[in-house]
Amino acid sequence: DSGVTQTPKHLITATGQRVTLRCSPRSGDLSVYWYQQSLDQGLQFLIQYYNGEERAKGNILERFSAQQFPDLHSELNLSSLELGDSALYFCASSVLAGRNEQFFGPGTRLTVL
């Protein structure tokens, strides 16, 4: 158990819908990262937050957005969902923004029908 929690574990929805994935980092970790794992794209970095502020952006679609709240939990919002958004979404956390050892949550499996 990494100490990073993600909810829900599974999510099944329809195209065009909007969903919210939630992540709670390890106690004491200030930085949160979101990754997408799919069969065709592999593991891709989406976005990083540090202590409530966006720190880095990767291959994140404009339909996707994220935020980190004062209690340090983070949410990833996916809207206008398409079939190709079906994937495993991982959250990871680390102590500092520049410290690169990241601990991953169990993931949320999103299925878009």
Q: With respect to other proteins, which residue has the nearer C-beta, 15 or 51?
A: 51
Task: Convert residues 65-104 into a mask of x (bound to other proteins by CB under 8 A) and - (unbound).
Answer: -------------------------x-x-x-xxxxxxxxx
**Dihedral (Cα; 103, 109, 110, 113), 10-degree rounding:** 160
> How remote is the C-alpha of 9 from its chain's centroid?
12
Cα separation, 79 vs 61, in Å, equals 10
Residue with smaller CB distance to other proteins, 39 or 83: 39
Contact 23, 91 (CB under 8 A): yes
Binding residue (CB under 8 A) for other proteins from 58, 82, 84, 113: 58
Other CB atoms within 10 Å distance of the CB of residue 80: 13
Number of residues forming the site for other proteins (CB under 8 A): 29
> Any contact of residue 64 with other proteins (CB under 8 A)?
no
Q: Which secondary structure element, helix H or strand E, spans residue 25, and what is its range?
A: none
Q: Which residues bind other proteins (CB under 8 A)?
A: 2, 4, 31, 33, 35, 42-45, 48, 50, 55-56, 58, 90, 92, 94, 96-107
